[in-house]
Structures are given as structure tokens and as C-alpha cells.
Amino acid sequence: MQALKEAQKPLGTGTPTSIFAANLDVEYVISFRYANAGQPAQTGDSSTPEEQLEKLLHTLDLAGLRTVVRDGGNGTLLIFTRIRSEKKLLGEIYRSRVRDWLHGIRPAAPEKETQLSLEKEPLTDGERLRLVYSLITLPSSEGGAGITPKQGEWNLVESVFGLHDHEFNKRWLKDWSTKWLIGPEDLRVIRDRFGEKIAFYFAFIQWYFIALSVPAAIGLFSYLFLPAYSSFFAICNCLWSVLFVEYWKRQEVDLAVQWGVRHCSTVQRKRAEFQFEAEATDPVTGEKIRYFPAYRRLMRQLIQVPFALFAASCLAAIIASVFSIEIFLVEVYNGPLKMILKFLPTVLLSIFIPIVSTIFTTFATRLTDFENYENQDSYEAALTQKIFVLNFITGYFPLFLTAFVYVPFGEILVPYLDVLNVTVQHFGHDEKYTTSDTGFQINPSRLKAQMIYFVVTAQVVGFVLETILPQVKRIVFKKAKEFDSKRKGIDMQTVMDPPEEKKFLDRVRHEAELEVYDVTVDLREMCMQFGYLTLFSPIWPVTALSFLINNLVEIRGDAAKICMEMQRPVPNRADSIGPWLHNLSFLTWLGSISSAALVYMFSSAELEGGPPKDLTLYGLLLSVLLSEHVYFGARFVASYAMSKIQSMGLETERKEKYMVRKRYLEESFGAENELIRQEDEKTGGEYTGVGVVPSAKDGRPLADGDVSETFWRSQSGWKDSVDAGVQIMDIVRGKEKKTQ
Amino acid sequence: MQALKEAQKPLGTGTPTSIFAANLDVEYVISFRYANAGQPAQTGDSSTPEEQLEKLLHTLDLAGLRTVVRDGGNGTLLIFTRIRSEKKLLGEIYRSRVRDWLHGIRPAAPEKETQLSLEKEPLTDGERLRLVYSLITLPSSEGGAGITPKQGEWNLVESVFGLHDHEFNKRWLKDWSTKWLIGPEDLRVIRDRFGEKIAFYFAFIQWYFIALSVPAAIGLFSYLFLPAYSSFFAICNCLWSVLFVEYWKRQEVDLAVQWGVRHCSTVQRKRAEFQFEAEATDPVTGEKIRYFPAYRRLMRQLIQVPFALFAASCLAAIIASVFSIEIFLVEVYNGPLKMILKFLPTVLLSIFIPIVSTIFTTFATRLTDFENYENQDSYEAALTQKIFVLNFITGYFPLFLTAFVYVPFGEILVPYLDVLNVTVQHFGHDEKYTTSDTGFQINPSRLKAQMIYFVVTAQVVGFVLETILPQVKRIVFKKAKEFDSKRKGIDMQTVMDPPEEKKFLDRVRHEAELEVYDVTVDLREMCMQFGYLTLFSPIWPVTALSFLINNLVEIRGDAAKICMEMQRPVPNRADSIGPWLHNLSFLTWLGSISSAALVYMFSSAELEGGPPKDLTLYGLLLSVLLSEHVYFGARFVASYAMSKIQSMGLETERKEKYMVRKRYLEESFGAENELIRQEDEKTGGEYTGVGVVPSAKDGRPLADGDVSETFWRSQSGWKDSVDAGVQIMDIVRGKEKKTQ
């Protein structure tokens, strides 16, 4: 931990752990491809690589960046950039902080004197890298260099990436591998290094990990002591999921405030790809605004409905048919080659599903591009939603199929699979190869087996694929390249490396080949996992427990992935886990329905997972209806309670706002008192009514000014009024006395 | 309209229509009771009325108000107040506008030079009155006089009220009585006079009135051409209600922005009654904060659950029993006195319901007091919710009873009402007084008749009660008082009236006796009306039409009520119709369920409203489940679409914000460029690296500074980098050439 404490010392204190030390003060490296496999690369326009390089370097220079060029090996150049001067950096910091203030991200304006404000809130590596990155990538209209890798005029720019701080990474992994829980301190370190967006992912998975212990405990208990599909467990599980999501919402706010990024999503990162329809000049601001009518986007978005339906049904169809083939082969068919044929379905699935989903994913991306979003966040959100639909089908449909079609209706439906007999006929012209219809029994263990597959096997496989496979892939590719270039006879020896930089440059070349880390992928993984928990855990109550164990590893695995297999991620800001939040609540809602259905259907079956006994449709509907509305109620109550109980984050925010408010109010108060003082001086502090002479300013009409004046002057000062009042009382009382 | 245009000319232009002209520049009148029926009034503490009067006047003076005292008649004094001086007023305006800015209500800070800012945004009568009112009522800690009528130290202060502007009122009523639609211009006038809260009510009822035309048309159509309980109408009606609410939400935002009150609910009006538990000093702000733990309030709020249940079931029980008595008397019993007995239930209801609901209302108020809210809005919201529950039962339960109990189960249940026979037995010892069980037929017209009663009769009666009755009541009371005082022999002649003020003072005395206008009552009425539409209109499709006609009158009626029967309302701000919004969406939701149920049940009956034929429980459940989820879907889509389509209000807000942002950014931009310039001067504009000499500030470690330096100096300036790059390319290409 000591080491980490070190690591997050602000830049201002110049600790040797600052990444920029190890990396020769390089902030970003731009990889520029001038040749593929020996052929000079094609630039977008007719210009040569040399020309584009020159343009690139010049643009960077204009944006206030220093550059050094080195050979990147096999047809690329590495352009090392850093901000030109400390003053320039300070200017950037100040401007960005002012912008934040104006967007209401920070309560108070930064000190006008930058040095001062820097001492107050030191610059983190994350903030620095973010600023420089935006300096490189923002369009020139926003004061950046407008470098958009692989696009348009910059099609030769392969990537823009920061350099890892290996010392820090080592310490980080070591530290996390030796502790159970990740504390706010650790999250802060992540945030300082890799930005809030990634920090939010770790915060989420950490909270999820902790929260899992509850359903894990309950699950284990009901697994050991309660009957299968106990409604007690289902209810607990559902309520837990509600609380989990609602409480996370609050944590998000707290963290966002703590990290000073609340509302930061309002500062939009413009998309370079945005196609504006018309460039109108805004009547109010007089600015050129790039305009794309919202209703047209809405129209385009409508396309995704048929798309989603089509994609979903396609995937569903594939899964269903493979599923029925499997059923047939495993449980009906018992002809020759059964041993081999049994594996056919698995093979089919693992061939088709990836292909089809890749196709749909690319299509979804196209569609999202077509929807033409103006800024990054809404683009990502839109894409996420589409991907989520696909994942939903591939991830959950098989279980739905088994639970709600195969088990209840299996005995009716399965016999119809005998249409496949025709194929079987070829082996032999008697019926012995298929069990007779009457003989068929649905396989009760199937549902649970499938669940276990998704919850344990798939998770482990997934983990292996995402952590080990890339390593292997990269090594193989490397070898291949080397071999290839050997064949071509080019030695990998890169040119013009100053000897003392050799080690450094090699490291950079290595990092240049790494993949770009996309945090949403990991978030999706967690979200899908959460889905199994809410939708199906009654099938296998220890689901949560297995996830608990899985995630303990997952967290460290992701950390390692970022450190070793990915380029250093650009520290983006975020004030939430974004669109996934909606998906989480969606899953809790669906969970309330599906688990109710599961419990109602299967708790009646006499052998676990077996065909349900004496079901009634209205029974099913009632239980679903009931549990859904209980869910709505619970969610309402939970969110209300959350909103009422003081949130630390909002509290601090409120107070900071208050401090600003107070300061300003005192100022204006002072001004106001001043006015009064002058006023009183003028009138000698007496109520001569001078201050109230009718005037255009005061808007008191001159017409009946005199009446009004006499009225008000009739009692000059409060003492007169008191006398008048007392007098009236006495007179009236007097009268009354008389009458009594 | 011309006249109205006049009316809303800003104060700054000193038009003679400014209210303060007609009212001798009086802003507020405080009615102070020094004696009830001749006996000196009891002050809270042992002080005499004289003392409290003196204290009052002194406090007002300290708060910067001028006062004049006149006799109010029968034991009261009228204390006329106005702000002491124009300067003081300007100070108040400026301060409040700064506060608004700091709360993010206004995008830009007001001009420091108050006069300037006044010319930019002139002062409306509404704003002026609001400021003065807060000056009178705010606690001294907030810079007010802290006058809380009828409470604690100010128990003799009866009321604080503004004076009507009769010229304006006349013009207003005349104008509205001659036009069909109330335009934004008119709303603006209301807002300038009576504040945003009331303006929002009129905006709402106006939008509701316009929107009603749609279901009215559809309703009429399906009434004429479609079978009763047509699902077509029900669906249209449900979708309409969704769109109505969602679109209103957006209008609220637009209006709030247009009126410059967006987020104004964040500026909390503190409640004088708030009981703080501990007065801690805030660690951050160092302010004294009056603290009441949220969880304890939450605990207290939980009490309302049993309360609501109890109250609801009480009312329900009363209604149900009276209902069954009615059924019995009207449809079962046919003994003597039937003609008279028939009216018994109506009598019972109109006796019991008011009494019971008054009891519960008072209890609800107590409960809300006990919940001890810190500010006005949350208090009102909490009370509103409780009242809504009560109204919900009294308003809708009878129809639910008829529709879902009487009609479907009537034939089974009604016979059991014969337990009442025992009472009947006394009339004669044979069975002829009751129809035999078998003979009983439920009355199909009953449901519709009841609906028509609630939708037409009740509305009309209500209108009469709220507009004509008060008038009568007041006149009667007046007469009674006069008579009373005559008996006592006190002539109503009030003392010390300057003759030229006589007319004015009489008017004020009259207004002093008027009631205080509470806009939430009118809002509740509309909300309940909307409920009938969403919940039951399939019973009688022309419901919307009748409401349309009713509201045409209602709007004018309310205007008249404000002008003639109520004290001039204090112009409060609001950025929404508040808690009623939730109730509206709640009603739309419930509507989706109940109308689905109605349609499913009654569309099957062969005689309209008759007992439904061949129902199935799952059929009912399915239709409800379906329609509810269609509702959720529709609402989601609607709100999404609304959020995407440009909202005028948000647009303007965004732009104004942008303007501020731009101004600031340019400033800081300037500063930054300045820095750069200096920097370049220092370095002679060249990359001598002076600017990057390792320094503690910059956080670059001195340790390997030299390596880094050599690295960066290896290419000084972008041209060098270009050369280096080109060189590398050539070399590499050269090599490749060789090998090929």
C-alpha cells in the first residue's frame, strides 16, 4: 500500500514514480504507417506519406506539442509527443477547469492564478494525459490538432497511445494480488492513473463482488436446507438485486462527486465522424452550429426495431433448431454414430453463433454510424444497447428455451422431432433406432446442467479466452512477422536508434502492437453475469457463490489485462457506468418475472427439474403479476429511501456550492448595505420621505402621488405608528366600556 | 388584449396600471387583532397587545419596511407596509437575483450595477411582491422580519395579505370571458401578477382543456358508432393519457425556462414550524445548521402507511355498507316507505363522508406536521400525497365497487343482503316485502348512471359550491357580525379614518375578511377529474366531452374566484405543478389496468352494463397484464421521443448557458495566450528547451532529466522531426530495394 500511496502522489510533488520519468517525459506516441509490406502506403488524397507526415508534424506543432520521430519497425514511424512547455500545460489545465466550472462539474471557479490553483488541486497523471490527448484529437475548432487515426486526411496515423508505467503496474498487480478487498484508496489510484471511466468499472465490479456475498450466503443456505426452487430464495434474490442496483446508483453519485466529475457527461466529446446536414449560424450565440435534425435521427433509430427483431429471431432460430437437433440426438435417437453425432450440436453452435453475431455486430455498428450521433457518449450508448440485445439472446435464450419450452412441453413436442427419422432411415429400415414416442421422458437434470454450464464453464472459458489467448495470439503473430520479414530478408534491426534509447524504443515498439482496451466489454461481461443471477438463479441457488469466486479472480485478471496485454488506456472521464445501468435495472425487472415463473412451475414438480405437475395458466399469470408488482413496489420504496437518506457525495456537493454561494452573497450584501448607508446619509437617517419621492424609476405614478404621500407621511417612523395603534385601541375600548 | 398588454408593462415604465398606484403604494397589509369581542386578546407570552404591536412595528422597521396603522374594525388594526426606500428595494432585487444565479436558476449573473440589470430585466409586480413578502416572513437569520401569523410570538397577527388591483382584475375577467383560448401571453400576465405557481395551474388547466378535445372527439365517435366498451376507444384513451402527461412534463420545462424559474424549487422556502433536533456547526461551512436526521423522518413517514390503510379501509367500509344498504332498499326491498327510505343512503353518505374525511384530513395534517419537514415544498408534497389517498377512495371507490363487485358478483352477493330482513320483518311477517333471491336481477344501467353522476352532477355541484357558496357565506357572516355589534351597540363606524382614505380603507377591510387562495385545491380537482377519464371513461365514452365543457367554465370560474372571493394570492414561484405530476402518471398507469379490465368484462355482456358472460380468470389477467405492459412500453417510447425532440425551453437554456461559457472561455483563453507569448519571448520563440528545464514545479525528476533532455533536444522543432522521419523511410526503403 505504501508503494501505492507513493504512486498517487500528485505530479506537483515530483515523485520519481511519475510515469513521465520512466518514459523520458513522453506523453503520447503516434504510430505512423508509411509502408505496408514494402509498398508505400496509400494516403487518402493523392499526397505521399512524406507530405502527410510533414502535415502531421506541423499540425501537432501548431497545437503546441513537441515531437521526436523514431523508427517504429516494419513500415511505421513512432512520433513521440509531449506538450511544448509547462506554461502551455498550465494554460490547458486552467482552461479545462474553467470549462468544468461553467458546466457545473466543479462548484467553484479555479483560482485565476494558475500556479495557485495547481497547488490547491494538484494535477494527476490522468488529468494531464487527458488534456494532452484532447489537445491531439479535438477538432481544431475546439483548439486541438484534430488527429483522427485511420480516417480521412490522417489515414496513415495508425494509433495514438500513451506509454505504460511499468514500475507502477508491477506495484499495482502485486498489491492487489495480496489483498482481498479493493478500497476507495485503491480506486482513487486507478482514477488518477487511468481516468474515471475505468475507475468506475473497478468500483462497480468491486461493489458487485462485495454485494454478491449476500445472495451467495442465502443461496448456499437454501441449497443445503431448502427444497429446490424455494420461493423464499427467489424473493430474497429479487429484493437483493433491486437494492443492489438502487444502492449502486447512489454510490455512483458519491464517487462522481468525490472524483469531481459529476455531470461531466454534459461536456460532450464531439465525434469526428458526425455528419452535419446544415451549418446554420445560431441566432442567439452567433456561432456556426452543425445541425442534424433530431426527428430524422429518431426516424433512423426506428430502423433498429426491425433490426433487433430480425437479429433476435435469427439467433433464436439457430439456437432453437440446434437445440432440437441435440434433443433428438441425445434423447431420442440411438442409432449408430450416436457417440460422435452427440457432439454435432455443440460444434454447430460454436461455429454458427460467433459468425452470425459477428455479422450482426458489424451491422449494428453500421446502423449506429448511420444514426449519426453528435458526441461520443450517445454513440457508445446507442451501440451498447444493440449489442446488449444480441448478447441477451445468445446468453439467455437457451435457458429460457429449456425452462419454458422443453421441460413443460417436451413430452408433447419432442416426438415431432421424429421428422428427422427420414435421415435416420438410411441407416436401417426398422424403428429400433428411435425410441418410441411413448417411451420419451424429458431429462430433468438438463436445465440445471445447462445453467451450470453457463454459470461456471462458460465463465472460466471466457476468462481464459480474454486473458491467455491474446498473449498467445500476439506471440504467434510476432513470430510470423519475424519469419515473414526474414523471408523478405529484412533484418528487424530498426534504423537510427540511439544506443542509449534502444531499450526504451523496443518497449515502445512492443506496446505499439498491443490492443486498445475497451472498458465497455468488461462491463458487458459483468452485466450479463448479473443477468444469470437475477433471471435463473432459482435453478441453481449457488450461482451467486460461484460468481463470487469467479469475480475475485476476474478483478485481478482485468487489472493484469490492462497492464500487460493492452495499450495504456486513454484516461477518459465518466460520471457513471452509463447505459449499463439501465440494462441492470431491466434485468432486475425481467428477473422478477422469470424467477416467479420458474418457482411457480418447478416447485410443483416431484423430481427436481422434472415436468411440472398440475399447472394452471391463471396460477402462472397471477404469480408473475404479483411478483412483478412487488418488484415495482420494492424498487419505488428503495429508490425513495435512498433519495432521502443523506448521500455523502451530494452532501459535500451541497456544502461546496453553499460556500461559493455564501461568499458571493456576502459580497452583494456588502454592496446592498452600502446603498442603504448612502440612502440614510441622504435622508439623515430620518423618514423625510426623500427616498420615496415618486419617480419614473420607482414606477410610482405621479398622478396620485400626493394622496399616497400624505398617506405615508401621516405617520413618519414606526414610533408614530405605535402611538396611532395604541390610540385606536383605547378609543375603541373606551366606546365598548361605555356600552357595557 | 390591449389592456392586458398594458397591465404587464414592467414596473420600470411607471404605467398607471401598476397596482401600487391604486393602492397608495401599499405592498402588504398586516391585520393585527388586539381584541376579540371586546375582551383584549391573549398574547402567547404574558405581554399585552400594545407590547406585541410595538415589537411588531419595530421588527418591521428593522427589516426595512415603512408602516402606517389604521383601524381595521371589530377589534383589529390594519398595518400598511411598504419597503422603506427604492434603494432598499433595488438591493433586495439584486440579492435575490444573485441567489438565483448561484442556485443555477438563471444562467448569467445579474449586472453588478443594479439600475442596469433592472433596465435589462424589469421588475414585475409579482417579483416585487414576492420579495417584500419574503422580507416580512423570512426568519431574521435569512434577513427577514420573521413574522409568522397566528404563531408563537406573533399570535395576534391574523394575516399578511396584498391588495387586489381591481382595475386589472376587471380587465382580466372581461378579457377571458370574451375569448376561447388562453394564450402564452395571457399566462405571462398571470405570472407577472400572481406568480409562477398560480400561472402553472392555469397553464396546466389550459393545456388539459385543449388536450381534452382529442378524447372528446374519439369518445363522441365511439359513443355514436362503436359498441359499448369498445377496446378501440379504451386503447386510444390510454395512449392519449400517456402522451398528455409526457408532453406536459416537457411543457413544464419550457414554461419554467421561459419564466426563468427552472430549478427554483432548489431554493427552499424554510418552514418556521420546523423543529430542529440539534443545532450543529457545519464542519465545512462553519454555519449553524439546524439538523433533523433523515432516517428519523423516514421512520415517522412509515406511520403514514398504516394510517393510509386504515383511513382508506374506513372510508371504503362506510361507502361499501351504505352502498349495500342502497342496493337492498332500491333493488331488493319493496316494503312500505320505500319512496322515503330510498333516499336514506344518499343522506347517510352526504353526512358521513364529509365528517370522516375532515377527521382524516386533520389527522393527515397532524401527521405531516409530525414528519417535520424543513421546507415548504416538501411539506406540501407530503400533505398532498395523504390527501390524494383520501380523495382517491371517496372519488373512485364507489365506481370500482359497482364495476368489479356489484355487476359481476351481484347475483351471488345481493341475496345475502337479506340479513337485513330482520329489520324488515317488523313491518310485516311475510316475505312479500323482499323479492325472492332467484328473482333478483342486477341493474345494468346502474354503473353508467353512477358514472354520469360523478362526471356531470358532481362536477357541477362542486363548481357551484366553490364559486357561489363562499359569496353567500361571507354575506351572511357580515350581516351576523353587524347585527351582533348593533346588539352590543357599537356602531361599525371605525375610528380615525381620514375622510379622503375612507373608500380605500373600506375596501381593504373588506379584503381582509376574504379567504386565502390555495392553488393546490384547484389542482387536486383537475387531477381527480383526469382520474375519472383514465380509469372509467370506457363506461361512458363522452366523459371527455362533458369535461371539456365543464373546464371551459372552470377556468373562468377560478379566475373569478381569485379576483372576487379570495385575498390577493402571494406570488410564489414554482417550476412545476409539483406532486400532482406523480399522481397524474399514477392514474394513467392504473387506468391502463382498470380500463382493460372493464373492456374485457363488459364487452362480453349482452345488455350494456349487464352481468358479464363467460369470463375466465386467466382471460382477465392476460388482458390486464397485456395492457399494463403496452402502457409501460408506450410511456417509455413517449418519454424517450420527448427527450430527443428539441425542447424550446432547454434549447434557450442551453444557448444562454453557452453565451456565458463563451464569454468566460474567451477571457481565460486570452490569459493563456498571454502566458504562451511570454514563454516564447523567454525562449526567443525557439525550442531551446529553456521552458522544459526540469523543475520541481513541473514534476520532471532531475534524476534522468539528462536522458530525457538529450532525447528531446535530438530534434529541435518539427522540421527536424520531418527530416528524421523522411530519412528513416528512405533508409528502410533502400534496404527493401536491395533485397528485392
Band of pLDDT at residue A739, cut at 50, 70 and 90: low
- Look at residue B265 and tell me whether its pLDDT is greater than 50: yes
Helix axes B519-536, B231-258, angle to 10 degrees: 150
Cell of B34: 388586539
Q: Which residue in the set A21, A53, A621 is minimally distant from B618, CB to CB?
A: A621
CA distances from A428 to A325, A415, A421, A423, B352 (A): 20, 19, 11, 10, 86
What is the model's pLDDT at position B225? 93
Q: Of A608, A539, A531, A545, whose CA–CA distance to A234 is shortest?
A: A539
For A607-647, how does the pLDDT look when each residue is reduced to its tens digit (9 = 90+)? 766 777 777 888 899 999 999 999 999 999 998 888 877 66
What is the model's pLDDT at position B2? 43
The C-alpha angle with vertex A11 and arms to A5 and A16, in degrees rounded to 5, equals 70
In which element (H, E) is residue A72 found? strand A65-73
For A682-731, how does the pLDDT look when each residue is reduced to its tens digit (9 = 90+)? 444 444 333 333 333 344 443 445 677 788 888 878 888 888 888 888 88
Top pLDDT among A271 and B174 is at B174
Number of residues in chain B = 740
For B372-411, how does the pLDDT look when each residue is reduced to its tens digit (9 = 90+)? 888 888 888 899 999 999 999 999 999 999 999 888 888 7
Amino acid at A52: Q
Q: Of B245, B214, B200, B184, whose CA–CA distance to B642 is shortest?
A: B245
For A542-583, how does the pLDDT look when each residue is reduced to its tens digit (9 = 90+)? 999 999 999 999 999 999 999 988 999 999 888 889 889 999
- Look at residue B583 and tell me whether its pLDDT is greater than 50: yes
In whole angstroms, what is the distance from residue B395 CA to residue A302 CA? Answer: 41
- Look at residue B9 and tell me whether its pLDDT is greater than 80: no
Band of pLDDT at residue A160, cut at 50, 70 and 90: very high
Cell 459483468 belongs to A526
Cell of B525: 380537482
Backbone angles phi, psi at A159, to 5 degrees: -165, 155
For B145-184, how does the pLDDT look when each residue is reduced to its tens digit (9 = 90+)? 888 888 878 888 999 999 998 889 999 999 998 888 888 8
- Look at residue B715 and tell me whether its pLDDT is greater than 60: yes
Q: Of A286, A235, A18, whose CA–CA distance to A126 is shortest?
A: A18
CA of residue A56 relative to chain centroid, distance: 32
Percent residues over pLDDT 70 in chain B: 80
Inter-chain residue contact B724 with A496, CB threshold 8 Å: yes
What is the model's pLDDT at position A418? 64
Q: Of A265, A289, A283, A12, whose CA–CA distance to A128 is shortest?
A: A12
Q: Of A407, A345, A638, A353, whose CA–CA distance to A536 is shortest?
A: A407
Minimal Cα–Cα distance from B702 to chain A, Å? 9
- Look at residue B597 and tell me whether its pLDDT is greater than 70: yes
Inter-chain residue contact B655 with A282, CB threshold 8 Å: yes
Q: Please compute the mean of the pLDDT values over residues A513-533 and round it to a whole number.
A: 92
Cell 455523502 belongs to A648
Chain B residues touching residue A692 (CB < 8 angstroms) = 25, 66, 85-86
In whole angstroms, what is the distance from residue B649 CA to residue A32 CA? Answer: 47
CA of residue A331 relative to chain centroid, distance: 43
For B688-712, how does the pLDDT look when each residue is reduced to its tens digit (9 = 90+)? 333 333 333 344 443 445 677 788 8
**Strand ranges inside B205-347, DSSP E:** 278-281, 288-291
What is the model's pLDDT at position B633? 94
- Which of A412-426, A558-572, B547-561 is predicted with the least confidence, judged by mean pLDDT? A412-426
Top pLDDT among A370 and A87 is at A370
What is the model's pLDDT at position A337? 78
Contact status, residue B198 vs residue B520, Cβ threshold 8 Å: no
Picking from A69, A589, A715 by the largest number of B CB atoms within 10 A of its own CB, the best residue to mutate is: A69
Most confident of A95-104, B505-514, B539-548: B539-548
Minimal Cα–Cα distance from B339 to chain A, Å? 45
- Look at residue B735 and tell me whether its pLDDT is greater than 80: no
Top pLDDT among B571 and B376 is at B571
CA distances from B90 to A708, B56, B191, B724 (A): 21, 24, 21, 68
Minimal Cα–Cα distance from B58 to chain A, Å? 6
Band of pLDDT at residue A62, cut at 50, 70 and 90: confident
Top pLDDT among A710 and B654 is at A710
Q: What is the DSSP string of A11-38?
A: GGG--TTSHHHHTTT--EEEEEE-EETT
In whole angstroms, what is the distance from residue A296 CA to residue A276 CA? Answer: 12
Chain A residues touching residue B626 (CB < 8 angstroms) = none
For B96-148, how does the pLDDT look when each residue is reduced to its tens digit (9 = 90+)? 887 787 777 877 767 666 666 677 777 888 889 999 998 898 877 777 888 88
Residues 6+ apart with CB under 8 A from B637: none
Inter-chain residue contact A86 with B676, CB threshold 8 Å: no
In whole angstroms, what is the distance from residue A721 CA to residue B54 CA? Answer: 9
Give the residue on B whose Cα is nearest the Cα of A710.
B24
What is the model's pLDDT at position A44? 62
CA distances from A276 to A293, A380, A381 (A): 9, 18, 20
Cell of A588: 432486475
What is the model's pLDDT at position B164? 92
Does the complex come out with an ipTM higher than 0.95? no
In which element (H, E) is residue A724 found? helix A718-739
Inter-chain residue contact A91 with B676, CB threshold 8 Å: yes
Residues 6+ apart with CB under 8 A from A684: none
CA of residue B665 relative to chain centroid, distance: 38
Q: What does the mean pLDDT of chain A come to?
A: 81
Q: What is the DSSP string of B92-137?
A: HHHHHHHHHHHTTSSSSPPPSSHHHHHHHSPPPHHHHHHHHHHHHH
In whole angstroms, what is the distance from residue A709 CA to residue A690 CA? Answer: 11
Inter-chain residue contact B712 with A618, CB threshold 8 Å: no
Helix axes B458-467, B469-488, angle to 10 degrees: 30
Chain A residues touching residue B11 (CB < 8 angstroms) = 699
Quick one: chain B helix, strand, coil %, rounded to 5?
70, 5, 25
In whole angstroms, what is the distance from residue B289 CA to residue B304 CA? Answer: 28
What is the model's pLDDT at position B701? 41
Contact status, residue B264 vs residue B254, Cβ threshold 8 Å: no
For B56-93, how does the pLDDT look when each residue is reduced to its tens digit (9 = 90+)? 999 998 888 889 998 888 788 999 998 888 888 888 88
3-state SS track over B310-359: HHHHHHHHHHHHHHHHHHHHHHHECCCCHHHHCCHHHHHHHHHHHHHHHH
What is the model's pLDDT at position A428? 42
Chain A residues touching residue B14 (CB < 8 angstroms) = 696, 698-701
Quick one: chain A helix, strand, coil %, rounded to 5?
70, 5, 25
Cell 519571448 belongs to B681
Which residues are B31's β-sheet partners? B78, B159
Q: Which residue in the set B60, B297, B664 is minimally distant from A102, CB to CB?
A: B664
What is the model's pLDDT at position A522? 92
Band of pLDDT at residue B8, cut at 50, 70 and 90: very low
Chain A residues touching residue B266 (CB < 8 angstroms) = none
**Which parts of B123-195 fold into alpha helices (H)?**
125-137, 166-177, 184-194
Contact status, residue B256 vs residue B575, Cβ threshold 8 Å: yes
Minimal Cα–Cα distance from B724 to chain A, Å? 6
For A134-143, how does the pLDDT look when each residue is reduced to its tens digit (9 = 90+)? 889 887 777 7
Top pLDDT among B549 and B667 is at B549
Minimal Cα–Cα distance from B13 to chain A, Å? 6
In whole angstroms, what is the distance from residue B95 CA to residue A125 CA? Answer: 41
In whole angstroms, what is the distance from residue A23 CA to residue A18 CA? Answer: 9
Top pLDDT among A41 and A94 is at A94
**Strand ranges inside A5-139, DSSP E:** 28-33, 35-36, 39-40, 65-73, 76-83
- Look at residue A214 and tell me whether its pLDDT is greater than 90: yes
Query: Mapping DSSP to helix (H, G, I), strand (E, B) and coil, where does residue B284 land?
Result: coil
- Which of B203-212, B221-230, B291-300, B705-714 is predicted with the least confidence, judged by mean pLDDT? B705-714
Top pLDDT among A532 and A738 is at A532
Percent residues over pLDDT 90 in chain B: 31
Amino acid at A344: L
CA of residue A496 relative to chain centroid, distance: 43
Chain A residues touching residue B79 (CB < 8 angstroms) = 721, 725
Band of pLDDT at residue B550, cut at 50, 70 and 90: very high
Picking from B18, B87, B117, B488 by the largest number of A CB atoms within 10 A of its own CB, the best residue to mutate is: B87
CA distances from A553 to A193, A470, B547, B552 (A): 22, 18, 64, 68
The overall longest dimension of chain B from CA atoms, in Å, is: 129
What are the b/e assignments for B535-558, b being 16+ CB within 10 Å?
A: bbbbbbbbbbbbbbebbeebbebb
Inter-chain residue contact B665 with A739, CB threshold 8 Å: no
What is the model's pLDDT at position B668? 55
Minimal Cα–Cα distance from A463 to chain B, Å? 36
In whole angstroms, what is the distance from residue B698 CA to residue A13 CA? Answer: 9
In whole angstroms, what is the distance from residue B722 CA to residue A141 CA? Answer: 25
What is the model's pLDDT at position B699? 41
What is the model's pLDDT at position B488? 62
- Look at residue B452 and tell me whether its pLDDT is greater than 90: yes
What is the model's pLDDT at position A414? 76
- Look at residue B737 and tell me whether its pLDDT is greater than 70: no
Q: Please compute the mean of the pLDDT values over residues A340-357 and round it to a whole number.
A: 84
Top pLDDT among A594 and B138 is at A594
Q: What does the mean pLDDT of chain B come to?
A: 81
Top pLDDT among B102 and A133 is at A133
Number of residues in chain A = 740
- Which of A379-383, B2-6, B691-695 is predicted with the least confidence, judged by mean pLDDT? B691-695
What is the model's pLDDT at position A143? 75
Top pLDDT among B365 and B47 is at B365
What is the model's pLDDT at position B7? 42
Helix axes A617-644, B617-644, angle to 10 degrees: 40
Inter-chain residue contact B660 with A102, CB threshold 8 Å: yes
Cell of A679: 440612502
